[in-house]
Amino acid sequence: MPRIIIVGAGISGLCTAHYLVRNLSAAGREAEILIFEAEEVPGGKMRTIREDGFNMEWGPNGFLTNKPYSLELVKDIGIEDRLARSSDLARKRFIRSGGRLHRLPETPQAFFSSNLLSLRGRLRIMWEPFAAGPPAGVDESLGDFARRRLGSEALEKLLDPMVTGIYAGDPDRMSLRSCFPVIHDLERKYGGLVKGMLSLRRERKRQGIKREMSAGPGGVLMSFDSGAQALVDVLAERLSEGLHTGVSVEEVRERDGKLLLSITEKGLRGEIDTDVLVLAVPAFAAASVLAPLDPRLTEALSSIPYSPISVVALGYDKATLGNPLDGFGFLIPRGEKRKILGALWDSSVFPNRAPEGKALIRAMVGGVRNPALAALPTDEIVGLTRSELAVTMGITAEPVLSRAFFHEKGIPQYLVGHGKLLDRIDARLAAHPGIHLNSNAYRGIALNDCVLQSRLTAERIARGL
């Protein structure tokens, strides 16, 4: 029976294993599937910290329904009844501008009357259908794209905070095509964003598809009754027979047509061979595992940078807060020169995030904008966050709980040239047919993307066995 080893039990590793089991059993085939996870608990970035009745996400707070993949997975594993739909307040998103919070307009009418952008900035956006087309043969940065189509003010006040909210990255270094392929394709197919959106709306109408509205990204934000970790917990439980936590994979070599892995478990080194290896780990970890086998692949993988980010969770007594937390939260453009990137008002969006009478806010600190701040000791980062919430939201109350979760290499950055880098990686991988790379470092960082890429990886492996 062939052996398949998956390294990493984040959503990408667990999901690859889930779809492998499904594909192989549908084809009446058998394989031994083992998952090795370096940490003592599975889940990777998807973890919910439960303390004093608060459910605090240390990474993602949910997934969007604008793509179907996560929802299909949820149905597939039978936990639809545990889904928590975000409240309608999730549509009220704010951007800080000129020192105060402005609601992100949801409709064209609200956009015209909003003073988030100056009149000149709004008129420039309205001019979008006449903007210059994309430069040929160039992997354009998000910054250049936004300046070209929407103007500098839209970049500063709309796109920069959006890129911060998703990647904690720098729009002038990130690739439009790799970060937002839908927008890239929309422009190329329809000749502009407004033209593209109108055409899509007409197509949907013709097909009788109704789309739910939401400010910012499309779709509805979903999570689970007791936090996002529910999804990885159920997957880990179903895969428990082959899941080994506390096992770190150090290196891989080739021997006698097989892949030989060096592993460490509780300080002891061992070896195990496998027919198929899936590295469902960050790119820098895959680089290190592959170093003895393929230095050029290692070099390509090492060149994918990561932004550091800290999530600072603050719990409050609602009675002392002096702010209704009436919305999803806010993001701060870099021009405002503040020390946090933004904050999410989690207890307003999902049930069970805070006990009765309490509220939970999670602020994001660091990113490529302020990398050193993400690494501050807990008391300093909590102090800094409290001062920033006082300045932006007027909150001076004493929190009843404060925690900080530091992700040193938090979010992969798809820089200009990312697509070419992936081509180089794929060309090297062609020389190692048993090895597959699957994590958020390559073709999408959202949970939906991780689920889709895992499904595709599992299909490729099942076909090749």
Ligand X SMILES: Cc1cc2nc3c(=O)[nH]c(=O)nc-3n(C[C@H](O)[C@H](O)[C@H](O)COP(=O)(O)OP(=O)(O)OC[C@H]3O[C@@H](n4cnc5c(N)ncnc54)[C@H](O)[C@@H]3O)c2cc1C
Identity of the residue, 234 or 446, whose beta carbon is nearer to ligand X in the bound complex? 446
β pairing state of 100-103 and 63-64: unpaired
Backbone angles phi, psi at 277, to 5 degrees: -125, 125
CA gap 441, 410 in Å, rounded: 11
Identity of the residue, 101 or 364, whose beta carbon is nearer to ligand X in the bound complex? 364
Identity of the residue, 124 or 443, whose beta carbon is nearer to ligand X in the bound complex? 443
Identity of the residue, 354 or 445, whose beta carbon is nearer to ligand X in the bound complex? 445
CA gap 448, 65 in Å, rounded: 9
Identity of the residue, 248 or 352, whose beta carbon is nearer to ligand X in the bound complex? 248
Nearest to 44 by CA among 277, 239, 308, 245: 245
Give the shortest CB-217-to-ligand X separation in angstroms: 10
- 3-state helix, strand, coil split of the chain in percent (to 5) is 40, 25, 35
Identity of the residue, 176 or 445, whose beta carbon is nearer to ligand X in the bound complex? 445
Backbone angles phi, psi at 84, to 5 degrees: -120, 120
Containing 340, the helix (H) or strand (E) segment is none
Which residue's entry shows tokens 């001062």? Answer: 387
Sign of the alpha-carbon torsion through 365, 369, 371, 377: negative
The CA distances from residue 18 to 138, 233, 326, 411, in Å, are: 38, 13, 38, 24
CA gap 389, 196 in Å, rounded: 38
Give the shortest CB-464-to-ligand X separation in angstroms: 22
CA gap 381, 374 in Å, rounded: 8
CA gap 134, 166 in Å, rounded: 24
CA gap 398, 313 in Å, rounded: 13
Identity of the residue, 367 or 399, whose beta carbon is nearer to ligand X in the bound complex? 367
Give the shortest CB-235-to-ligand X separation in angstroms: 11
- Residues contributing to the site for ligand X (CB under 6 A): 7-13, 36-39, 44-46, 59-63, 248-249, 280-282, 285, 289, 309, 311, 407, 410-411, 439-440, 445-447, 450
Structural contact between residues 153 and 121, judged by C-beta atoms closer than 8 angstroms: yes
Give the shortest CB-83-to-ligand X separation in angstroms: 15
Identity of the residue, 97 or 229, whose beta carbon is nearer to ligand X in the bound complex? 229
